Amino acid sequence: MAAKFALRGFVYGLREDLLGRPIRITTVDPGLARTEFSLVRFKGDEEAASEPYVGVEPLTADDVADCVLFTLTRPLHVNVDEIVIKALAQSSGGRILRRAP
């Protein structure tokens, strides 16, 4: 959590430092997303890795990539400052409404 906070502060500072230059900076903050990270987190244990997604339709890598593509395809005078993308069943990092299996 502290690393994410530090990165956000760095990005805000970078935006200030680069103001007036033709450089766009965007943060994309995805919520619950089904990726290979879960397998890494649970050291290859597929059953444990699938557990966080039980009862909820998580984001996919394609969902996040679509947001990145949207950002990159804006006109050059447009900067998308930040995108927060979450599964419909997620209201915050720790609050997810799960359907009964």
Going from N- to C-terminal start, the domains of the chain cover 22-101
Query: Tens of pLDDT along 54-82?
Result: 999 999 999 999 999 999 999 999 999 99
pLDDT for position 22: 95
The CB-side HSE value for 43 (13 A sphere, CA atoms) comes to 0
Model confidence at 100, in pLDDT bands (50, 70, 90)? confident
pLDDT for position 2: 85
Query: Tens of pLDDT along 9-54?
Result: 999 999 999 999 999 999 999 999 998 888 999 999 999 999 989 9
pTM to 2 decimal places: 0.83
pLDDT for position 5: 87
Q: Which residues of 15-33 are buried (b: 16+ CB within 10 A; e: fewer)?
A: beeeeeeeebebbeebbbb
Model confidence at 98, in pLDDT bands (50, 70, 90)? very high
d(CA 35, CA 95): 19
Indicate if the pLDDT at residue 101 is higher than 80. no
Q: How many residues does the chain have?
A: 101
| C-alpha dihedral sign at 61, 66, 67, 69 | positive
